[in-house]
């Protein structure tokens, strides 16, 4: 079995559901059989131990932390706390990113509202219905084996499993004792002295089960039978009332008594019912406005009421590097939807589109926060939304594996593109609105023709999830950021690969071209923003200041300011020319997933896990 140059110790945590237990035992055994050193909370923390202390010791000792995510795990009070503890431990400078967190999904729960927010920008490996393939990905991305070595390790484990299974079957067949009496007809393989086939093994197990059930029927009941007489030679089974049956019988008796009483007191019951109806009628008549307001609240397709907040915007001027320190909170939108994953201004800066983790996609009026319409049809979290340059179309990417193109004027669906693999994390629209780019959980960028959903080309090169895609303002280039820690650029005309930009030490979550196409900004889970020269791929500057992963960046319309959104609950404004931090915008109480500059340069919007949208302006 291949060994690593520097062995990495793993630590696995999971919930105590039966599904999690079975999976963890197999995964733990396979990792140990592969020559890796590690431990699991189910084996290392015993009843009566200090659970918190045990988890902390495990996180401190491991190089790779593997939280097992299922619906049962997400309902546990420990899941998010363990992931947060591992993350903050890895951010300590002396630990150099250790432990690396590799979430493992064993159920399709990534879009669950209870999914810890830190998991979204992380590389997660889906083991559901693809164990061997996912195990290879874990060896590759989690433990640093190259792809060929990882595949070899999986093959060896598969062979070893088959050999051990055959050996166990042989031992079971050898130790099987013949029946002493009334033996059933032997199976074909038993007559020939061979190992039983899978089908025959099922028959054998069924026989044993039947015999056990037969024995249970002969167990003496609670009331012992009378001693048998000389004429009674057959054993006699005594029927004992079942507790459930006794309860049902008692319930029937009670209902019969109630019915008898009701028949003899009909007048009293009718009088009480009339009084109740009259009281309800008077209450409803005296509260008509309240009932009308309740019935008229607009709802989304999942039945969540959208509020219409009363807000006012102060007179604003264009945000520039000279007045960036005067940026103030203009107003707050609380649309009563889930965690806000993406926000985008329309080209005229009059409306704002926002998508959330609970599949809601809506359009709001910026001036007063009024909901204009919902875009109905998504069945998963909305990870990205972008307007076409003329403002007539809105393109959204969703965790339901689709890219949808909407008519902004009436909210109708124009096109729906279903991805061949998995969730969509990033979308972009070319300036002429003829091409849509998508990044998904398939290690590639796809280009689609918007008019008829025809696939124009697939841009390969990344080795992990593509989180973000962006077109240059002239439409000639497309860039992408990935969990493989790199940024790639392609020429759209001939799909030629131009640049691979390396330097980030963690997932690249966002890429954005400057308005003049001279620079490319990238945001990463390593907590930094990098500025690159598009023509040469040269790194110009690294912006440091966030205390957590940076999820998105956005240039101001004149290209002088860069806004960034982070898991440290802040939006920061940077001067592009020298990387100076101009202002830190606070107000959110949860992770900030998205940030957008209005095309007129007067506003900045941010969407957060606290389920609000903050809009910032200059007095």
Give dist(CA 545, CA 375) in Å, integer. 37
Mind listing the pLDDT tens digit for each residue in 256-267?
A: 666 666 666 666
**Residue 240 within any structural domain of the chain:** no
Sheet of 361-365, strands arranged across: 340-345, 351-356, 361-365, 371-374
Q: Which of 120, 135, 164 is the last residue of a domain?
A: 164
- Per mean pLDDT, which of 62-71, 251-260, 533-542 is the most reliable? 533-542
**Domain that residue 575 falls in:** 324-598+605-618
Does 193 reside within a domain?
no
Q: Of 164, 193, 215, at which residue does a domain stop?
A: 164
- The yes-or-no verdict on residue 21 having pLDDT over 80 is yes
pLDDT at 181: 44
516 found inside a domain: yes
User: How would residue 217 be classed by pLDDT, with cut points 50, 70 and 90?
Assistant: very low
In a domain, 458, yes or no: yes
280 by Cβ neighbours in 10 Å (0-12 / 13-18 / 19+) ranks as exposed
Residue 180 burial by Cβ neighbours in a 10 Å radius (0-12, 13-18, 19+): exposed
In a domain, 548, yes or no: yes
Task: Answer yes or no: pTM beyond 0.85.
Answer: no
Highest mean pLDDT among 80-89, 121-130, 149-158, 494-503: 494-503
451 within domain boundaries: yes
Of the candidates 164, 180, 209, which is a domain's last residue? 164
Domain containing residue 329: CATH number: 2.130.10.10
Per-residue pLDDT tens digits for 399-430: 888 999 999 999 999 999 988 777 888 999 99
Contacts of 205 (CB under 8 A, 6+ apart): none
* pLDDT number for residue 187: 46
Residue 357 above 90 pLDDT? no
Is residue 98 one of the residues assigned to a domain?
yes
Q: What CATH number did the domain enclosing 40 receive?
A: 3.40.50.10140
Domains in the chain, number: 2
Write the pLDDT tens digit of every residue in 52-105: 677 778 888 888 999 999 888 888 877 887 888 887 777 777 777 788 888 898
Domain presence at residue 78 = yes
Angle at which helix 266-286 crosses helix 288-296, to 10 degrees, equals: 80
Token pair for 332: 């707050």
């Amino acid at each position: 079995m291949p060994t690593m140059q520097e062995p990495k110790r793993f630590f696995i945590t999971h919930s105590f559901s039966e599904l999690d237990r079975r999976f963890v035992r197999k995964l733990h055994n396979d990792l140990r059989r592969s020559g890796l050193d590690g431990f699991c909370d189910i084996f290392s923390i015993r009843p009566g131990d200090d659970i918190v202390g045990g988890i902390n010791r495990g996180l401190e000792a491991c190089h790779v932390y593997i939280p097992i995510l299922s619906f049962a795990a997400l309902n546990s009070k420990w899941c998010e706390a363990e992931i947060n503890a591992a993350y903050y431990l890895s951010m300590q400078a002396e630990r150099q990113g250790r432990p690396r967190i590799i979430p493992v999904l064993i159920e399709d729960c990534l879009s669950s509202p209870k999914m810890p927010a830190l998991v979204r920008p992380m590389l997660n490996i889906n083991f559901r219905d693809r164990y061997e393939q996912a195990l290879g990905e874990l060896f590759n991305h989690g433990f640093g084996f190259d792809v060929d070595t990882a595949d070899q390790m999986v093959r060896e484990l598969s062979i070893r499993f088959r050999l051990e299974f055959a050996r166990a079957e042989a031992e079971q067949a050898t130790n099987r004792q013949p029946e002493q009496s009334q033996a059933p007809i032997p199976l074909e393989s038993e007559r020939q002295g061979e190992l039983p086939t899978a089908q025959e093994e099922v028959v054998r197990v069924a026989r044993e089960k039947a015999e056990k059930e037969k024995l249970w029927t002969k167990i003496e009941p609670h009331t012992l039978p009378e001693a048998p007489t000389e004429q009674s030679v057959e054993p006699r089974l005594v029927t004992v009332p079942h507790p459930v049956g006794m309860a049902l019988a008692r319930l029937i008796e009670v209902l019969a008594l109630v019915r008898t009483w009701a028949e003899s007191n009909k007048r009293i019951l009718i009088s009480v019912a009339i009084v109740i109806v009259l009281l309800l009628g008077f209450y409803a008549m005296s509260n008509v406005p309240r009932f009308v307001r309740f019935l008229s609240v607009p709802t989304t397709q999942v039945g969540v009421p959208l509020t219409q907040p009363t807000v006012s915007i102060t007179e604003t001027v264009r945000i520039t590097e000279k007045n960036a320190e005067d940026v103030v909170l203009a107003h707050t939108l609380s649309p009563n939807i889930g965690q806000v994953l993406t926000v985008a201004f329309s080209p005229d800066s009059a409306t704002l589109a926002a998508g959330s983790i609970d599949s809601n996609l809506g359009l709001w009026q910026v001036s007063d926060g009024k909901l204009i319409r919902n875009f109905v049809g998504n069945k998963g979290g909305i990870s990205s939304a972008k307007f076409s340059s003329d403002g007539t179309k809105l393109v959204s990417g969703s965790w339901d594996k689709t890219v949808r193109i909407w008519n902004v004027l009436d909210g109708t669906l124009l096109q729906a593109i279903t991805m061949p693999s998995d969730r969509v994390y990033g979308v972009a629209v070319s300036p002429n609105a003829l091409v849509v780019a998508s990044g998904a959980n398939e290690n590639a960028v796809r280009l689609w023709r918007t008019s008829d959903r025809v696939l124009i080309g697939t841009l390969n090169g990344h080795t992990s999830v593509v989180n973000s895609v962006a077109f240059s303002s002239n439409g000639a280039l497309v860039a992408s950021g990935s969990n493989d820690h790199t940024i790639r650029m392609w020429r759209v005309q001939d799909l030629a690969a131009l640049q691979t930009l390396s330097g980030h030490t963690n997932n690249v979550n966002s890429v954005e071209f400057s308005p003049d196409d001279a620079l490319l900004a990238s945001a990463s889970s390593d907590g930094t923003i990098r500025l690159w020269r598009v023509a040469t791929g040269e790194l110009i500057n690294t912006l440091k200041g966030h205390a957590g992963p940076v999820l998105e960046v956005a240039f101001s319309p004149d290209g002088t300011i860069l806004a960034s959104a982070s898991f440290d609950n802040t939006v920061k404004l940077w001067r592009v020319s020298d990387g100076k931090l101009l202002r830190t915008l606070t107000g959110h109480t949860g992770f900030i997933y998205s940030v957008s500059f209005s095309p007129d340069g007067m506003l900045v919007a941010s969407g957060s896990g606290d389920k609000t949208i903050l809009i910032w302006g200059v007095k």
